[in-house]
Amino acid sequence: MGQDSRGRIILLPDEAGGVEMVAKFFRALGDPTRLRLLEFLLHDEHTVGECVAHVGLAQGRVSTHLACLADCGYVTARRDGRRTFYTATDPRVADLILQARSLAADNAAALAACIRITPSPEDGTR
């Protein structure tokens, strides 16, 4: 990481975890369902059934999203008998989500007008 002449932080592509990895980091969070699940799991651990009730989707879809979050290191799973409990792995994600919500609110008009980024079919808006 470096800084430009104005003191702004810039990511250098040749650094470990450079721009490509950061983009992948945000793609994992770019799905509304995964974001809802992650926010839910930041507060406490929950079973798949509780996650299903929270987001209102079929268990198979929720399990797929939880698997993605687990594969990316955002959540961990703990088995207890026949049930699996999920929890967020890094509390720093909560701060990131709060900042993202604030930025999104500040830029709501521009984001709403942006035609290059479209909502996913899953959230029912497209």
Residue 59 lies in a domain: yes
Q: State residue 6's pLDDT score.
A: 72
Residue 57 lies in a domain: yes
Residue 3 lies in a domain: no
Q: Tokens representing 36?
A: 């809802």
Residue 124 lies in a domain: no
Residue 81 lies in a domain: yes
Residue 102 lies in a domain: no
Residue 47 lies in a domain: yes
Number of helices (H) and strands (E), helices first, in the chain? Answer: 6, 5
Backbone φ and ψ of 26, nearest 5°:
-75, -30
Q: State residue 124's pLDDT score.
A: 46
Which helix or strand (DSSP H or E) is residue 87 part of?
strand 83-88
Q: State residue 18's pLDDT score.
A: 76
Q: What is the pTM of this model?
A: 0.76
Structural domain range at position 67: 18-89
Q: What is the CATH number of the domain that holds 70?
A: 1.10.10.10
- State how many domains the chain has: 1
Is 48 in contact with 62 (CB distance < 8 Å)? yes
Per-block mean pLDDT, blocks of 10 residues, the chain (126 long): 67 66 88 96 96 98 96 94 95 91 94 81 48
Q: State residue 125's pLDDT score.
A: 38
How many whole angstroms separate alpha carbon 25 and alpha carbon 30? 9
Residue 108 lies in a domain: no
